[in-house]
Amino acid sequence: MLTRLREMHSPLAWGLIAGAALLIAALPAIGLPEYLVPQFGKFLCFGIAALAMDLVWGYAGILSLGHGLFFALGGYSMGMYLMRSIAGEGVYRSALPDFMVFLDWKTLPWYWSGFQSFGFAAVMSLVVPGVLAFVFGWFAFRSRIRGVYFSIVTQALTYAATLLFFQNATGFGGNNGLTDFKRILGAPLHDPTTRRTLYLVSAIALLGTYFVCRFVVTSRLGRVLTAVRDAELKTRFCGYESTHYKVFVWTLSAMLCGLAGALYVPQVGIINPSEMQPSNSIEMAIWVAVGGRGTLLGAVLGAWLVVGGKSWLTAAIPSAWLYALGALFVIVTLFLPRGLVGLGAKLRPAVDMVIARLRRPAKAT
């Protein structure tokens, strides 16, 4: 743990963070094609979700297979605002969303109230995942559910929510979800300026999320979380109530995932139950495993590499992606238990040796 903390405080790490931040912020201004701006914006949102996943799994030892649910709830909160902002402009010219008119709904459900306000929707994108995570985590952690059993329970929760949102009677668009968004805060979503603005907001949110997570893991709270991960019984014996720490970090992680989902939806233009299916949560765990569990920068790197590979491979060979994903997970588990960041640490002594030999003065002949 001390080694990781030193790495996080090193000038090289800060240089990489500053350089990456400047590059990300400058991408739209250096001639990035318009169609790639939303694509790169999605990558930034996935980076936020990866940080949230790494916070609970890498530092607290809580393997969640349900974070896709929190991501989708944040997305639905923002999607409800985007739907209400175009009231009366749909095919049916009704104050209700088109899918409700098609299903013969007469009035707007009570839980859609307030979502005509952007501020309310933004707050709900954090509060809804946070409240669900707090309630679920409180009962789960108090019941001492942990390890693989906790992972299975979170996966079951996500699967149940997916089935619920697929139902038309729930009022969230059923299988089709929420789509046909036109504007956000009065700005057209398809306007290049709006797309660049959403991209920059996502970049700022990613950087802010990184610093929030870094503050948590380098504080006394982070040291307790690491102790809970490595030896929970001993930590409790020392007087630390592990349940409270786990509930806090679990709730914070869910809220960060909700933030990622809220930024993701305006850039993609749709949110449906497929975003919360269990396979998406498993992919989040793979992001962290590939990049390096317990290393915040590694989690973001892993998310970008895996999502980038998915985008390329699903376009080139669509049927091969699931096989590649499974093979990647097996390779990382067997040969790269600390991910790509750990691989760099292993290669560092060899690189230092080579550099030292190159710098050694040649012997006189």
Q: pLDDT tens digits for 211-242?
A: 999 999 999 999 999 999 998 888 988 888 99
Q: What backbone torsions phi and psi does residue 188 show, to the nearest 5 degrees?
A: -60, 135
Q: What percent of the chain lies above the pLDDT cut of 90?
A: 53
Model confidence at 263: pLDDT above 70? yes
| CB-CB contact of 184 with 82 (8 Å) | yes
Q: What is the pLDDT of residues 169-201, one digit of tens each?
A: 899 999 999 998 999 998 999 998 999 999 989
Res 6: pLDDT: 41
The stretch 286-306 carries a mean pLDDT of 90
Confidence label for 7 from pLDDT (cuts 50, 70 and 90): very low
Res 313: pLDDT: 84
Beta partners for 188? 183
Confidence label for 346 from pLDDT (cuts 50, 70 and 90): low
Choice between 11 and 195, residue whose per-residue pLDDT is larger: 195
* 356 found inside a domain: no
Number of domains in the chain: 1
Instruction: Count Cβ atoms below 10 Å from residue 103 Cβ, excluding itself.
Output: 14
Confidence label for 31 from pLDDT (cuts 50, 70 and 90): low
Res 152: pLDDT: 94
The stretch 309-321 carries a mean pLDDT of 82
Confidence label for 27 from pLDDT (cuts 50, 70 and 90): low
Res 21: pLDDT: 60
Model confidence at 2: pLDDT above 60? no
* 273 found inside a domain: yes
The stretch 11-39 carries a mean pLDDT of 63
Where are the strands (E) in the chain, listed by range?
178-179, 183-184, 187-188, 270-271
Model confidence at 271: pLDDT above 60? yes
Distance CA 215, CA 193 (A): 33
Res 336: pLDDT: 79
CA 100 to mean position of chain CA atoms? 30
Instruction: Count Cβ atoms below 10 Å from residue 327 Cβ, excluding itself.
Output: 11
Q: Which pTM was predicted?
A: 0.88
Res 279: pLDDT: 87
Res 352: pLDDT: 66
Distance CA 38, CA 268 (A): 7
Lowest mean pLDDT among 16-25, 196-205, 279-288, 341-350: 16-25
* 212 found inside a domain: yes
The stretch 315-326 carries a mean pLDDT of 81
What mean pLDDT is reported for the chain? 86
Where are the strands (E) in 99-233, listed by range?
178-179, 183-184, 187-188
∠ at Cα 48 (45, 49), nearest 5°?
90
Beta partners for 271? 178
* 359 found inside a domain: no
Q: How far is CA 5 from CA 83, 215, 277, 294, 327, in A?
A: 45, 11, 35, 11, 31
Distance CA 43, CA 203 (A): 10
* 126 found inside a domain: yes
Q: How far is CA 234 from CA 2, 56, 217, in A?
A: 19, 19, 20
* 310 found inside a domain: no
* 324 found inside a domain: no
Q: What backbone torsions phi and psi does residue 364 show, to the nearest 5 degrees?
A: -70, 135
Q: From the CA atom positions of the chain, what is the Rg in Å?
A: 22
Model confidence at 5: pLDDT above 60? no
The stretch 299-309 carries a mean pLDDT of 90
Distance CA 151, CA 159 (A): 12
Res 120: pLDDT: 96
Q: What is the pLDDT of residues 108-120, one digit of tens each?
A: 999 999 999 999 9
Q: What is the pLDDT of residues 138-165, one digit of tens each?
A: 999 999 998 899 999 999 999 999 999 9
* 194 found inside a domain: yes
Range of the domain at 50: 2-278
Res 309: pLDDT: 87
Q: What is the pLDDT of residues 60-103, one digit of tens each?
A: 999 999 999 999 999 999 999 999 998 878 677 778 888 888 88
Res 3: pLDDT: 42
